[in-house]
């Protein structure tokens, strides 16, 4: 049965991390997922948490209310958006008073938050809803001979108290998906749970880059074919800022960094140029990814 979701693109993916959006839109329909674009969304609110937590809650509940009005569950490929929306559901679930107050603020836009819909991310959509068996059936060009390190991203796996798509200390779903696509991964490497530093890019960019550089340096030393991520904030650090990150750890970094959906697309037989691979700034050409 075809699964239908409102695509919540968020700010980072839709304004600069286009490779993620392109590969999401290209590869998921092959697995019978229909992505619907609906009008009216704003920022998820997560980047505003340090400034004003009520604003975060307002923005996330507003976005959920819009999807509810359209009677659709939300697919949010960004780990940060996914956290904001999930946390909003968690906070308002048993707090009628807060829910009423938030709904009171929606008067101008004629919205009503109920909290009735599901919020999905790329990892649980692929692993839990579509399933590894279905993915395997659709693989046309297995990613044979490639061994990847996976980066889940802090916001995707914590805090588990509010319900996250993956285990907080030992996440493996992305590894399982990559194995279903024919690639190899290791379920554990010491830096697996290390943060990309992305949030600090807002106010302490030098330190943020050091975090990025430290993890990439380790991945390079272990000899992985590349790094795979599922968050536009993380990817921006590991891919677009890789050269600068290398400078902070005095290392020439040459780690190919991919979005999971780009590799998914390749394995499903989508042509290279349709997956935004020319937008990755890390040296993804190092790997033999087949004909263009």
Partner 1 sequence: MSIVDLTSMGEPQSQLRKEINDRLYKLKDEISDYCFQCAKCTSGCEAHKLLELEPHKMVALLKRGLIDEMVNSDIIWTCMSCFKCRERCPQKVAPVEILFALKNLAVASGKQIPGKYTAFLQSILSIGGIQDIQEITTRDNKTKRRSELGLPNISKPKDLTKFQAGLMKIAVEKV
Residue 103 burial (CB count, 10 A): 16
Helix locations, 29-184, DSSP H: 53-69, 79-93, 96-105, 122-124, 132-138, 154-157, 173-180
DSSP structure string for 258-282: EEHHHHHHHHTT--GGGGTGGG--S
- In the complex, the smallest distance separating the C-beta of residue 184 from partner 1, rounded to whole angstroms, is 25
Which stretch in 70-78, 122-130, 198-206, 257-265 sits in contact with partner 1 by CB under 8 A? 198-206
What percentage of the chain's residues is helix, strand, coil (to nearest 5)? 55, 10, 35
Taking the C-alpha atoms of residue 52 and residue 45, their distance in angstroms, rounded to an integer, is 9
Nearest to 226 by CA among 185, 176, 275, 181: 185
In the list 174, 181, 200, 216, the residue contacting partner 1 (rule: CB under 8 A) is 200
Count of residues interacting with partner 1 (CB under 8 A): 65
DSSP E strands in 218-271: the ranges are 226-229, 257-259
Q: Does 25 bind partner 1 (CB under 8 A)?
A: yes
Q: Is 229 in the site for partner 1 (CB under 8 A)?
A: no
Q: Is 152 in the site for partner 1 (CB under 8 A)?
A: no
Asked if 83 and 59 count as a contact pair (C-beta separation under 8 A), the reply is no
- Is 219 in contact with 149 (CB distance < 8 Å)? yes
Q: Which is nearer to partner 1, 120 or 180 (CB)?
A: 120
Q: In angstroms, rounded to a whole number, what is the distance separating the alpha carbons of residues 62 and 99?
A: 11
* Residue 212 is a binding residue for partner 1 (CB under 8 A): no
Could you say which residues in the range 266-285 bind partner 1, by CB under 8 A? 276, 278-281, 284-285
One residue of 82, 99, 127, 155 binding partner 1 per CB under 8 A: 155
Name which position in 29, 32, 55, 116 contacts partner 1 (CB under 8 A). 55
Residue 21 touching partner 1 (CB under 8 A): yes
In angstroms, give the least distance from the CB of 131 to partner 1.
Answer: 27
Residue numbers at the binding site for partner 1 (CB under 8 A):
9-12, 14-16, 18, 21-22, 25, 37-43, 47-55, 58-59, 62, 101, 105-109, 154-155, 158-161, 168-169, 193-195, 197-200, 202-205, 207, 210-211, 276, 278-281, 284-285
């Amino acid at each position: 049965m075809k699964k239908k979701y409102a695509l919540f693109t968020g700010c980072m993916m839709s304004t600069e991390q286009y490779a993620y959006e392109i590969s999401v839109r290209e590869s998921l329909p092959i697995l019978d997922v229909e992505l619907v674009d609906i009008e009216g969304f704003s920022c998820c609110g997560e980047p505003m948490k340090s400034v004003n937590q009520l604003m975060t809650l307002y923005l996330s509940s507003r976005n959920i209310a819009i999807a509810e009005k359209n009677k659709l569950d939300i697919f949010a490929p960004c780990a940060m958006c996914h956290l904001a929306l999930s946390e909003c559901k968690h906070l308002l679930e048993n707090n009628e008073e807060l829910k009423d107050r938030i709904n009171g603020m929606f008067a101008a836009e004629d919205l009503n938050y109920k909290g009735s819909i599901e919020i999905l991310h790329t990892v649980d959509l692929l692993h839990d809803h579509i399933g590894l068996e279905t993915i395997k059936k659709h693989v046309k060009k297995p990613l044979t001979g490639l061994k990847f390190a996976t980066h889940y991203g802090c916001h995707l796996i914590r805090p588990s108290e509010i319900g996250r798509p993956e285990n907080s200390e030992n996440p493996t779903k992305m590894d399982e998906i990559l194995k279903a696509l024919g690639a190899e991964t290791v379920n554990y490497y010491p830096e697996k749970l290390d943060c990309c530093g992305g949030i600090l890019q807002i106010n302490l960019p030098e330190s943020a880059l050091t975090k990025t550089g430290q993890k990439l340096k380790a991945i390079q030393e272990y000899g992985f074919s590349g790094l795979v991520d599922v968050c536009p904030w993380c990817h921006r650090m590991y891919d677009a800022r890789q050269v600068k990150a290398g400078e902070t750890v005095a290392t020439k970094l040459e780690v190919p960094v991919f979005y999971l959906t780009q590799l998914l697309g390749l394995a499903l037989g989508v042509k290279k140029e349709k997956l935004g691979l020319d937008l990755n700034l890390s040296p993804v050409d190092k790997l033999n990814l087949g004909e263009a």
